[in-house]
Amino acid sequence: MVSTWKSRITPTRSSNRKDGPLTDTSPDPQTDAVAKAAQILADHRSSIDRLDAILVYTLGERFKHTQAVGKLKAQHDLPPSDPDREAAQIARLEDLAKRADLDPEFAKKFLNFIIAEVIQHHKSHQK
């Protein structure tokens, strides 16, 4: 039988009967370590899920503002992109990333990816 995390931490029955006695559940250091690791993994995944939700809601809020900027630009015949503003944002984000222990190159790529999407939205507002 393949040993999965679940099978390694779930006590088995010593007979084939569904209500048969469970096998010895006295503390086994290895089983204990695996159970602790499984709990740590589950805790990290809960945190990751909460943070992913924050990212999605944060991006949703950001796009609401950029959509409003796009409409404003279209009404006033302003160009969809603003390279000076983008350069300032990239510089600021790189600095923030360093302080937040995030790879600044990744932060730059991520912001550029979002800005490219925003510019596409802005272009769709222009006549």
Ligand X SMILES: C=C(O[C@@H]1C=C(C(=O)O)C=C[C@H]1O)C(=O)O
Query: Is residue 94 near ligand X by the rule CB under 6 A?
Result: no
Please select the residue that binds ligand X; options are 31, 86, 102, 125, rule is CB under 6 A.
86
Residue 81 makes contact with ligand X by CB under 6 A: yes
User: CA dist 115 to 12, 72, 92, 122, Å?
Assistant: 54, 17, 15, 10
CA dist 77 and 73 (Å) reads 6
Length of the chain: 127
Question: Helical H runs in the chain?
Answer: 5-9, 29-75, 83-99, 104-125
119 binds ligand X, rule: CB under 6 A = yes
**Is residue 115 part of the contact set for ligand X (CB under 6 A)?**
yes
Indicate whether 109 belongs to the interface with ligand X (CB under 6 A): no
Residues in the interface with ligand X (CB under 6 A) total: 12
Interface residues toward ligand X, by CB under 6 A: 66, 69, 81-82, 85-86, 89, 114-115, 118-119, 122
